[in-house]
Each structure stands twice: as C-alpha cells, then as structure tokens.
Amino acid sequence: MLGWALTFLVIALIAAFLGFSGVAAASAGIAQILFFVFLVLFVIAMVARAVRGRAP
C-alpha cells in the first residue's frame, strides 16, 4: 500500500510539473489517503503484535 501511495505521489509531482493541475490534485489526494490508511494499518498491526506477544 505504501508503494501505491508513492506511485500516486510521483504521478502528482510529474503532473504538477507539466501543468496538469487537476490531475496533480487528484493524484496527491489519493496518495495522501493511501498513506494515512497504510499508517493506521501499520499502527494496528504493531499494537496487535505487542498485545499478542512473541509467537512460539
């Protein structure tokens, strides 16, 4: 998921450089949403790992 966020970020940067403001804004928005979803899932996984403890 982090890879997708980085991909959309690169698309947004290229589109902004070329002057496609609508595409750049949409891609940046998608990248931001994907990044925050990744961050939330990462924190949930870390908390679950800490609560469950080390696997045998």
Digitized pLDDT (tens) for each residue of the chain, 56 residues in all: 778 888 888 888 888 888 888 888 888 888 889 889 999 999 999 998 889 877 65
Q: Are 11 and 28 in contact (CB under 8 A)?
A: no
pLDDT score of 56: 58
Q: How many domains does the chain have?
A: 1
Expressed as residue numbers, the domain containing 45 is 2-52
pTM of the full structure: 0.70
Residue 36: other Cβ atoms inside 10 A: 11
Rounded Cα–Cα distance for residues 32 and 49 (Å): 26
